[in-house]
Amino acid sequence: MAKIFCVANQKGGVGKTTTTVNLAAGLAKIGQRVLMVDLDPQGNATMGSGVDKRTLPLSVYDVLLESASIREAAVFSDKCGYHVLGANRDLAGAEVELVEVERREKRLKQALAEVGADFDFVLIDCPPSLSMLTLNGLCSAHGVIVPMQCEYFALEGLTDLVNTIKQVHANLNRDLQIIGLLRVMFDPRITLQQQVSDQLKAHFGDKVFDTVIPRNVRLAEAPSYGLPGVVFDPSARGSQAFQAFASEMVQRIQKM
């Protein structure tokens, strides 16, 4: 059965989408069957996986509103080697449309239950908020991957997310745990980043992934070609780090 992970952090621009698509591509390259779910109405993870959000016949919106199954709505990205349940601006309306329905935070979980045997990994790219969409992600998942930059306010920002995860764990999803904190856009020349990284290790111990993702311009260029860095330029330092992260994740789930 698939292991399901949310990539979440309520801050924008911290590297959630970059992490989701590169981990998906890295896992696909080592033979894992991957479904990437885009839960952000901006649709960046969809576009960054070579799928045009503007021409999607069906999206995660239709799945949340139960007008399509995941088998119907997901598409295979040939270039990237994984399945994509895409998102576009329609999804912004789902928040409001779901207000009236029962068990609205479990819609994605129910839909994923039907395809659990088809995949090894499901990766969910969450929007930068703790909204009903993110809640659907958290209710579906076995674990949360938290990308973070090693900046001064990083730890402070983490408190809200950790509290939300605790509440979801207590009330909605007993499986949910933080799998790990992933240090991204890391620049070892910056002393402060090194200090924050050490603090994270001291605070969270083995909840901090061994792999560190460096700041690397090839990762930032790749989305404009509609590709994850791992596919666009596999030899780039950032891509190799994500490939190493994919291997680390495969090892982690064997211990789960």
Residues that bind ligand ADP (CB under 6 A): 12-18, 44, 128, 184-185, 213, 215-216, 219-220, 223, 238
Residue among 12 and 93 whose Cβ is closer to ligand ADP: 12
CA triple 204-171-40, angle to 5 deg: 70
Output the smallest distance, CB 74 to ligand ADP, in A: 20
Token digits of residue 52: 């045009």
Q: Find the binding residues for Mg ion in span 229-248 (CB under 5 A).
A: none
Strands 143-148 and 121-125 come out as unpaired
220 binds, among Mg ion, ligand ADP, none (CB under 5 to 8 A by kind): ligand ADP
Q: Angle between the 132-140 and 90-97 helix axes, to the nearest 10 degrees?
A: 90
213 binds, among Mg ion, ligand ADP, none (CB under 5 to 8 A by kind): ligand ADP
Token digits of residue 95: 């928040």
Residue among 68 and 154 whose Cβ is closer to ligand ADP: 154
Binding-residue pattern over the window 7 to 26 for Mg ion, x denoting contact by CB under 5 A: ---------xx---------
Strands 75-77 and 82-85 come out as antiparallel
12 binds, among ligand ADP, Mg ion, none (CB under 5 to 8 A by kind): ligand ADP
Residue among 14 and 94 whose Cβ is closer to ligand ADP: 14
Mention every residue, 6+ apart, whose C-beta is less than 8 A from residue 115: 2, 35, 70, 71, 74
Token digits of residue 223: 């989305």
Angstrom distance (rounded) from CA 231 to CA 3: 23
What order do you get walking across the sheet with 143-148 strand by strand? 75-77, 82-85, 34-38, 121-125, 3-7, 143-148, 177-186, 208-214
Residue among 58 and 126 whose Cβ is closer to ligand ADP: 126
Output the smallest distance, CB 69 to ligand ADP, in A: 27
Q: Find the binding residues for Mg ion in span 26-65 (CB under 5 A).
A: 44
Helix (H) or strand (E) holding 170: helix 154-171
Residue among 18 and 59 whose Cβ is closer to ligand ADP: 18
Residue among 9 and 32 whose Cβ is closer to ligand ADP: 9
Output the smallest distance, CB 226 to ligand ADP, in A: 13
Interface ranges with Mg ion (CB under 5 A):
16-17, 44
